[in-house]
Amino acid sequence: MNKIELIHTLPNVFQSRTDIVSDIWNQDVTFEKGKKYLVEANSGTGKSSLCSYIYGYRHDYQGQILFDGEDIRRYAVAKWTDIRKNHFALLWQELRMFPELTAWENVEIKNKLTGYQTKEQILEWFDMLGITDKLDAKMGRMSFGQQQRVALIRALCQPFDFLFVDEPISHLDDTNSAIMGRIMTAEADKQGAGIIATSIGKHIDLEYERVFNL
Amino acid sequence: MKLVWKLLRQHISIPQFLGFFFANLVGVVIILLGVQFYNDYKALDNEDSFMKADYLIVNKKIGALSGLTGKSNAFTRAEIEELKNEDFVERIGAFTPSSFNVKARFDVEGFVNFSTEMFFESVPDEFVDVKSDAWDYQEGSNEIPIILPKNYLDLYNFGYAQGKGLPKLSEGILGAMKLNVQIAGNGNNDSFDGRIVGFSSRLNTILVPEKFMQWANQQYADGEAVKEPTRLIMEVNNPTDDRITSYLQERDYETDEDKLDASKTTFILRVIVSIVMVVGMVISILSIYILMLSVFLLVQKNSTKLENLLLIGFSPAKVSFPYQALTVGLNVLVFVLAVVIMLLVRGIYLEMFENFFPDLQVPGIWQALVVGMGLLVIVSIFNIIAVYGKVMSIWKRKD
């Protein structure tokens, strides 16, 4: 997947509003593989909606979203499974981790599916992010900031053309944010992938190609 | 998959699944036992091993008038032809009576000494269900295979022997003994050994092989023309067919009431077994309903986990698999256990059957197995589809 295009995309709930000023909604926007983008947003401007539309689990929008020129509304279940497994990594704002499993198991469950990263690489990331001591801790017992770091590692355990990170550093200090940025950039560059980051204030420092105001 | 299972087994309710397990077990056992018991009973019904079940024996009624007018109670060729052409008749054969004198003596030193005038009859061999070598007569041989009516044995055992204080005889003992048969006629007088092949509760006659009858009628008949048959044996495709009764009534024919009674008993048993099986079916369906409810509840309780698994790239098929395997596994377990229980219960009632009918030949259990397998496959397919459908509703976020 080389290109994500939004063509006059607008959430259905915004349909009746005429006062929308946005670089993304109701515009023609293209995200290209290999480049980094930042989407800045205020609360309630549809940031999470954007995630769910391009990740294929909500379709309550008008206009079109195209992957490499193909309308994603027509994608079948198997196609979405393939995209989520092999082409598109997403770090959710709400993380979507499994509190019953340990930090290690949360990453392992994904890596077993894709078989993409080595155990050494994963352990190295845990170490870099300073949460090695939490490997065997139940996810539910960890702080949100710690969970955010585990969630990033899980997101990286797959091949991807785009990495979509939704407020990745909302609960992190600057040091850890910087480490996270380095890890993300390194992995994206290695895979030649693009990064789309969102923020509602504090944003992760990357070399952004373009900054959108949602 | 181990981690997926670790996630998805959360909230599994053991009591609910146990409830399903035992309820379904009861249902399936009832269904399997119903099928098996019916088959085993049918074997009992065919207990008269010399004649297949669906044979009817037909004769003309002997009324006061026919006795006076001397009207023959034999069947004419035209009447037999007509009967043969009815479509409820599969095959038809005539009883051939003997046209010679028969005297039989039965003696065991110091035990019984029994001598009587009697007669022979024969029917075409295809109607006699005895292994062909046991029911064969070689011309010139001194040995005649004979089938006696069971009534004779009962008469002796419960009437004669009882009254005279003589020992009772079993079928087995009699089968091992020889009957001394004197045949006279046409100026000849010969002695034969009668070998009792068995006793029939259906045939009220003394039966010998047709081959022997043809030969003996030629040899010993006193120049008389071959008599027309007074009794017919026929195979019908359905003994409960009303047309048979009305046809026979119209022409003043009689048939053996026993056979029709037996058909009625079988019919009633079939109805009872059907009712029991329907009850089993209802129990099974209800239990499967419980299973589906608890699986749906489980899916509901774990819906966030399932949704997250779908979002991190697991296919709906992969996510459905643990619950599908769980339900199918339970079904297989129920099936296996149901078959075992059925075999145990069958062992108990077969033992009882065997007390009454020592020579009972019971059918196999394959029919019950096929029914059980069929249920297993249908229910499992239904479960697999239902679980997948439920997971897909999470995929589509329609819950």
The pTM (predicted TM-score) of the whole model is: 0.70
- pLDDT value at B124 more than 70: yes
| CA–CA distance, B364 with B104 (Å, rounded to integer) | 41
- pLDDT value at B167 more than 80: no
Give pLDDT tens digits for A27-48: 999 999 999 999 998 888 888 8
Least-confidence region, from B27-41, B198-212, B362-376, B383-397: B198-212
pLDDT confidence of B40, banded at 50, 70, 90?
Answer: confident
- Interchain pair B311, A57: CB under 8 A: yes
Mean pLDDT (chain A, rounded): 92
Of A128-132, B60-64, B124-128, B212-216, the range with the highest mean pLDDT is: A128-132
- pLDDT value at B398 more than 90: no
Q: Is B42's Cβ below 8 Å from some Cβ in A?
A: no
Give pLDDT tens digits for B345-362: 999 988 888 777 666 677
The mean pLDDT of B359-369, rounded to a whole number, is 81
pLDDT confidence of A130, banded at 50, 70, 90?
Answer: very high
Q: Is A3's Cβ below 8 Å from some Cβ in B?
A: no
The mean pLDDT of B391-397, rounded to a whole number, is 90
Residue B399: its pLDDT value, please? 45
Q: Which of A48, A96, A106 is best to mutate for the B interface (most B CBs within 10 A)?
A: A96
Based on the number of CB atoms within 10 Å of its own CB, is B140 exposed (0-12), middle (13-18) or buried (19 or more)?
exposed
Interface predicted TM-score of the whole assembly (ipTM), two decimals:
0.94
| CA–CA distance, A125 with A207 (Å, rounded to integer) | 21
The mean pLDDT of B308-330, rounded to a whole number, is 93
The answer to whether A104 touches A136, Cβ cutoff 8 Å, is: yes
Unique residue bearing structure tokens 């108990």: B348
| CA–CA distance, B33 with A87 (Å, rounded to integer) | 56
- Which residue in A84, A90, A101 is closest to B3 by CB distance? A101
How distant is the Cα of A139 from the closest Cα of chain B, in angstroms?
13
| CA–CA distance, B250 with B246 (Å, rounded to integer) | 6
pLDDT greater at residue B109 or residue B269: B269
Residue A101: its pLDDT value, please? 94
- Interchain pair A158, B313: CB under 8 A: yes
The mean pLDDT of A142-163, rounded to a whole number, is 95
Residue B64: its pLDDT value, please? 63
Q: Which of A94, A113, A156 is best to mutate for the B interface (most B CBs within 10 A)?
A: A113
Sequence ranges of the domains in chain A: 3-213
Look at residue B52 and give its three-state secondary structure. Answer: coil
Beta strand residue intervals within chain B, DSSP E: 55-60, 89-94, 96-97, 101-108, 112-118, 121-122, 143-149, 178-185, 188-200, 231-236, 253-255
Look at residue B345 and give its three-state secondary structure. Answer: helix
The answer to whether A61 touches A7, Cβ cutoff 8 Å, is: no
User: Any idea which fold A3-213 has?
Assistant: Rossmann fold (3.40.50)
Residues 6+ apart with CB under 8 A from B172: none
- pLDDT value at B67 more than 60: no
| CA–CA distance, A194 with A2 (Å, rounded to integer) | 9
The answer to whether A72 touches A105, Cβ cutoff 8 Å, is: no
Q: Which two tokens stand for residue A191?
A: 């895979």
As a whole number of Å, the end-to-end CA separation of chain B is: 25
pLDDT confidence of B99, banded at 50, 70, 90?
Answer: confident
- pLDDT value at B145 more than 70: yes
Q: Is A98's Cβ below 8 Å from some Cβ in B?
A: yes
> Which is it for strands A194-199 and A36-40: parallel, antiparallel or unpaired?
parallel
Mean pLDDT (chain B, rounded): 83
Least-confidence region, from B4-18, B105-119, B133-147, B320-334: B105-119
Residue B93: its pLDDT value, please? 87
CA dihedral B161, B166, B172, B175 (to 10 degrees): -80
The mean pLDDT of A124-146, rounded to a whole number, is 94
pLDDT greater at residue B399 or residue B369: B369
For B205, the enclosing helix (H) or strand (E) is none
**CA nearest to B4 within chain A:** A109
- pLDDT value at A138 more than 90: yes
The answer to whether B80 touches B234, Cβ cutoff 8 Å, is: no
Residue B244: its pLDDT value, please? 81
The answer to whether B252 touches B75, Cβ cutoff 8 Å, is: no
Residue B235: its pLDDT value, please? 82
The mean pLDDT of B173-194, rounded to a whole number, is 82
DSSP states along chain A = --EEEEEEEEEGGGTT------SSTTSEEEEETT-EEEEE--TTSSHHHHHHHHTTS---EEEEEEETTEEGGG--HHHHHHHHHHTEEEE-TT----TTSBHHHHHHHHHHHH--S-HHHHHHHHHHTT-GGGTTSBGGGS-HHHHHHHHHHHHHSS--SEEEEESTTTT--HHHHHHHHHHHHHHHHHHT-EEEEEESSS------SEEEE-
Q: Which of A87, A88, A94, A98 is best to mutate for the B interface (most B CBs within 10 A)?
A: A98
Least-confidence region, from A154-158, B128-132, B139-143, B339-343: B128-132
Residue B138: its pLDDT value, please? 82
Unique residue bearing structure tokens 């297949």: B52
Residues of chain A neighbouring B313 (CB-CB closer than 8 A): 81, 84-86, 110, 113-114, 158
Q: Cα separations (Å) of B78 from B59, B100, B110, B255?
A: 15, 27, 53, 19
- pLDDT value at B141 more than 50: yes
Residues of chain A neighbouring B315 (CB-CB closer than 8 A): 77-78, 81
> Which is it for strands B231-236 and B96-97: parallel, antiparallel or unpaired?
unpaired
For B228, the enclosing helix (H) or strand (E) is none
Unique residue bearing structure tokens 């010399």: B50
The A residues from 73 to 92 touching B (CB cutoff 8 Å) are 77-78, 81, 84-86, 90, 92
